[in-house]
Structure 1
């Protein structure tokens, strides 16, 4: 059965690590059998550096959705969305596309969203230097 996973969680909660572990567990190391789609990928430069640009966010979200839909269209066995997905509207198009193409869709919240002490941990370990204030604000707006 073809599956799509929608990962949700705060920056630094472990979504990307979870995505890789999930793929390895479900389909092994064969990268032809899975795709991990993350909008963050578009903020990386050829030298490996990362620069977030809020003015590019909408464009990059659209590119990521297109990549996700292309993977579904190719019949990739496992397609994973690795974004924060704080509000439900942020991932509804992904769910609709996956269901329309016959994928079983699973939503996974990674980490503990409301735990303040964990928010401090997430701020320390997130690789994009998202401020604690931003992480706490995201937690307050998280939609279940």
Structure 2
């Protein structure tokens, strides 16, 4: 069965860890059997350093969607979308493409969205320097 998992959650909630654990559990970490699509990848330079550029966000989201569709076209059995996906419109194109290509789609909310104490933890542990104020705003805007 071909599956797509669309992860949703605040920065620092553990989405990337969840994505890799999912791949390890479902396909024994066999890199030919899964692909993780994260827009964050496009902000990583050749030295492996993350540099967020807000003006490129839309472009990189489009590139991430394109490589997601390519992974589906290649028939990769497990494809994971590792983005915050705060608003439903942010992932509807992923879900539509996956369904059209015969994949089972599962939406997974990682972490607790509304818990203020966890928002503090997420602000401390996210690897991209997203502050508490931004994380709290994202939590407030989260669409169920």
Common fold, TM-score beyond 0.5?
A: yes
Q: Which string of whole-angstrom CA distances, capped at 9 and with x for unpartnered residues, describes residues 19-71 of structure 1?
A: 00000000012100000000000000000111000000000000000010000
Indicate yes or no: 2:125 matched with 1:125.
yes
CA distance in 1, matches of 2:95, 2:29: 25
For 1:107, the equivalent position in structure 2 comes to 107
1:7-86 → structure 2 map (5 Å cutoff) = 7-86=7-86
Partner SS for 2:107? strand
CA distance in 2, matches of 1:117, 1:123: 10
CA distance in 2, matches of 1:90, 1:48: 26
In the TM superposition, structure 1's runs of 4+ consecutive aligned residues that sit over 6 Å from their partners are none
Identify unmatched segments of 5+ residues in structure 1. none
Partner SS for 2:123? helix
Number of aligned residue pairs: 144
Partner SS for 1:36? strand
CA distance in 1, matches of 2:48, 2:104: 34
Q: Which string of whole-angstrom CA distances, capped at 9 and with x for unpartnered residues, describes residues 71-112 of structure 1?
A: 000000000000000000000000000000000000000000
TM-score, scaled to structure 2: 1.00
CA distance in 2, matches of 1:9, 1:93: 18
TM-score, scaled to structure 1: 1.00
Identify unmatched segments of 5+ residues in structure 2. none
The RMSD of aligned alpha carbons is: 0.3
CA distance in 2, matches of 1:99, 1:54: 30
